[in-house]
Amino acid sequence: MAEPDDGLDSLDKAILQLESEHWKYRGAKESAIRQRLGLSPVNYYQRLNALIDRDDAARFAPMLISRLRRARLR
Spatial separation of the C-alpha atoms in residues 63 and 29, rounded to whole Å:
20
Spatial separation of the C-alpha atoms in residues 70 and 25, rounded to whole Å:
24
Q: What is the pLDDT of residues 8-58, one digit of tens each?
A: 999 999 999 999 999 899 899 999 999 999 999 999 999 999 999 999 999
pLDDT of residue 1: 38
Is 45:15 a contact under the CB 8 Å cutoff?
no
pTM of the prediction? 0.87
